[in-house]
Amino acid sequence: MKLPVYLCLLLLLPCAVNAQEDKCAKADSIIAGTNAAIARVKTGGMENWGVLYCNSVEINTYKDQWRAVGNYNSKIDFWYTDAPEFAVYEEKTKESVLAKITVTSESSAYKFYYEFYYSGGELVAANATSDTSVPTELKYYFNNLKLIKFVENGKISTTENALNSPEIISMSSDFVSFFLTMFLKSTH
Q: Residue range 87-92: average pLDDT? A: 91
Which pLDDT value is given to residue 11? 46
Question: What is residue 12's predicted lDDT score, i.e. its pLDDT?
Answer: 45
Q: How far apart are CA 154 and CA 156, in angstroms?
A: 7
User: Of 17-21, 26-30, 57-61, where does mean pLDDT reach its minimum?
Assistant: 17-21
Global pTM reads: 0.84
Between vectors from CA 123 to CA 188 and to CA 40, what angle results, nearest 5°? 65
134: Cα within 13 Å, side-chain hemisphere: 3
* Percent residues over pLDDT 70 in the chain: 85
pLDDT digits 0-9 by tens, 48-71: 677 899 999 998 887 777 776 677
More confident call, 49 vs 73:
73
Which segments within the chain are labelled E, that is strand?
Answer: 53-59, 65-66, 70-80, 98-107, 110-119, 122-131, 136-143, 146-152, 155-157
- What is the rounded (10 degree) CA torsion for 170, 68, 71, 66? 80
Confidence of residue 186 (pLDDT cuts 50, 70, 90): low
User: Are 169 and 159 contacting, i.e. CB atoms less than 8 angstroms apart?
Assistant: no
pLDDT band at 17 (very low <50, low <70, confident <90, very high): low
pLDDT tens, residue by residue, 140-182 = 999 999 999 999 999 998 777 677 789 999 999 999 999 999 9
| Residues 87 and 97: beta-carbon distance below 8 Å | yes
Percent above pLDDT 90 for the chain: 58
Whole-angstrom CA distances from 152 to 63, 94, 158 are 30, 32, 10
Q: Decide if 184 contacts 85 (C-beta within 8 A).
A: no
> pLDDT at residue 47 above 50?
yes
Instruction: Report the mean per-residue pLDDT for the chain.
Output: 85
